[in-house]
Structure 1
Amino acid sequence: MHIATHQVTVPNPCHLGDWTEQPAPVPNAYLGVWKRTLLETAGARDERSQVFWLQTPRWHADLRIPAGRPDFSGVTCLAECDDAQLAWLATQQGFCGVTQVDGDDCTWHRQLDFQPANGRRDIGRMVFDGERVIETGVDADYREIWERLQHSLGGTAALELLVDAGELPARPAWLLVAGDCFIHVRGRAHPLPHIANQKNVSDLASLIARSRPSRAQLLDWLNVEISFGHRNGPAPWRIERSTLPFREGQFVTHPGALQRRGHRLIVEGNNERRWMIMDWNFGAML
């Protein structure tokens, strides 16, 4: 699943928690957070990008930060980025959605993607060896090696935001947890524009070059948060890596803030946010 534009448009049986029609859970061997150690394609080898894939029984989230990130010191929001920083941000990758496993083949059906869609399928053939898995592309020529983070073993959860401050959320959002790890995803307020000849738009940088958006539009296109971090004991859930560099070091939530209410609902804090349960394998709270 190394190519960001492998998004596929599929019916979304899981949107807002259609509990009876969710896909079958993936095998237990998939669960946890996997860190990529190697990507090989016909023309490239990458051991430096920071790539994390979190998998719950039905949902996944993926964050990919290329090597060579510019210095974002002192930047507190996207509007403070210069043109070079914005251009680099457009090269990032990440996505989340529903996972389907058929034998050795794994398909990632994306509900959200940092990069524009091009209709290609995202399918990998998976060979597990304990805490290591080798993924080989089915519809694309690539090979990835992943190693599982030990502190990601344990319970899992996948939540979709339903209510934010008493209102429908302005942006779609998900929170996935595996053991002591989490990935928080917050999508665009508006979808990326459709280009008539979409096959010529291979990535977000190409879309920007073709569309020449205003600065305000560009900031909106880049305003996608995919943040990875840890939740350790009584400490707040701290972001360590993010598509929005200024979010690193900030907190997503606090221990005990996520309280289960019945079979399908999580209430956060003093009822300021409500989440739909998509996967849950914890006690009454997180």
Structure 2
Amino acid sequence: MHLHQLVEQFAQQPPQGVPNWMLGFYKRRAISFADGLTDVQTHVCWFQSRNFTIDLRLPLEHQQVPAKPLSGYSAQELQVLANYEGWEALCSWEGETLSWHTDTSLQVHNRWPEPGLLKRIGDCMIEFSPSDAYVEDWRLQSSAPGALIGLRLLHEKELGSGRVHHRGGGLIVCGDHAALVLGRAEVLECGPLDLREAVARHADDLQWLSRAFNFETSVACGSLAEGFNVTLSTCAARIGQPLISLEGFEIHPDGQHVCQLLQVDGVVRERLFVIDTLEPQVSYSSATGFTDRAAQWYERESPTLSRYTRPLV
């Protein structure tokens, strides 16, 4: 079954989750820190389903490592790889605060331990850290109304041998955008070391490095009709490739899980997902609306307020 058929025929929405205004794909415009410094260059992507988040953080393209076998990377390039960030995590919304837990992450420690205090106006969502260490400016990315699909990956394994290739992760499709996380097959034991330190220690151990970087977070654009092609990824070789096959999906008899069968190098694998949401049509509007009084003010003062306004992505 095609993914489009799955969401049309088995539509469902969980009874709880984040507010509607938080759904979709955001890119970070800026992060400002308490020391007065601001970063406006790092690629930071936030995909939000009803109850889980996918996050990707990468340096500028010319500072990313090129696509080649792990054995071909220098110690310096391995450190660049080890500094990438990509993760998926369940989230909980309470009042104006979003917190994350039960994550699947490339990093082996939590780099962002604080919850976020969030408010959105127009296409701008502002996130304050409770400690006032930083504030982030997120911008909803343009998309026509379309499906919202949130599937959390339990595992990807070979049907014949039962060999597990990935545990944890997820897929979020929101209109014209999609993101995928594939977790490591097994927990990476690093002891007290962070990933950079552990990679430096095992730089000559190809088997260990293969386990460490058996992880993917990718972001893509496209459509459910034509497919999604990767634009940013923790895996350089994935750039320009299809994010995921849109065929081979089936609803599990319990109605709460989805299976996908796919072939990798001629071997049939099964991906088993638990459903967060399957919604055929969601509006990803950049507007949040005015109160009547604010609308009157905006109209009255529009000759100056709207002099230079434009969408900002």
Structure 2 runs not aligned, ≥5 long? 1-13, 263-267, 281-313
Query: What SS class does the counterpart of residue 53 from structure 2 fall into?
Result: strand
Q: Which residue of 1 aligns with 2:270?
A: 273
1:64 aligns with 2:54: no
Q: Distance in 1 between matches of 2:250 and 2:53?
A: 22
| C-alpha spacing 1:138/1:69, structure 2 compared with 1 (3 Å) | farther
Shift of 1:261: 4.5
- Bigger Rg, which one: 2
Name the TM-score, length of structure 2 as normaliser: 0.71
| C-alpha spacing 1:282/1:119, structure 2 compared with 1 (3 Å) | closer
Structure 2 counterparts to residues 236-251 of structure 1, below 5 A? 236-251=227-242
| C-alpha spacing 1:237/1:84, structure 2 compared with 1 (3 Å) | same
Matched-pair contact (CA < 8 Å) for 2:155–2:271: yes
Name the TM-score, length of structure 1 as normaliser: 0.77
Q: Which residue of 2 aligns with 1:170?
A: 165
Q: Distance in 1 between matches of 2:122 and 2:234?
A: 30
| C-alpha spacing 1:190/1:254, structure 2 compared with 1 (3 Å) | closer
Q: Distance in 1 between matches of 2:135 and 2:187?
A: 30
| C-alpha spacing 1:29/1:168, structure 2 compared with 1 (3 Å) | farther
Q: Distance in 1 between matches of 2:189 and 2:261?
A: 36
Q: Distance in 2 between matches of 1:52 and 1:58?
A: 17
Matched-pair contact (CA < 8 Å) for 1:121–1:139: no
Q: Distance in 1 between matches of 2:80 and 2:176?
A: 30
Shift of 1:245: 0.9
Structure 2 counterparts to residues 113-262 of structure 1, below 5 A? 113-117=105-109, 121-139=113-131, 141-151=133-143, 154-159=146-151, 160-166=153-159, 167=162, 169-172=164-167, 173-195=169-191, 198=192, 201=193, 203-209=194-200, 211-212=201-202, 214-216=204-206, 217-232=208-223, 234-262=225-253
RMSD of aligned Cα (Å): 2.8
| C-alpha spacing 1:116/1:140, structure 2 compared with 1 (3 Å) | farther
| C-alpha spacing 1:255/1:86, structure 2 compared with 1 (3 Å) | same
Q: Distance in 1 between matches of 2:143 and 2:73?
A: 34
Shift of 1:182: 1.3
Q: Which residue of 2 aligns with 1:282?
A: 279
Structure 1 runs not aligned, ≥5 long? 1-21
Shift of 1:169: 3.1
- How many residues align structurally? 255
Q: Distance in 2 between matches of 1:171 and 1:233?
A: 24
Q: Which residue of 2 aligns with 1:33?
A: 25
Note the alpha carbon deviations across 1:190-234, whole angstroms, 9 max, x for none: 323243xx4xx5x5324445x455432234323321000023254
The aligned amino acid for 2:243 is V
| C-alpha spacing 1:108/1:233, structure 2 compared with 1 (3 Å) | closer
Question: Structure 1 residues 29-38 or 260-269, which shifts more?
Answer: 260-269
Q: Which residue of 1 aligns with 2:96?
A: 104
| C-alpha spacing 1:23/1:141, structure 2 compared with 1 (3 Å) | farther
Query: What SS class does the counterpart of residue 211 from structure 2 fall into?
Result: helix
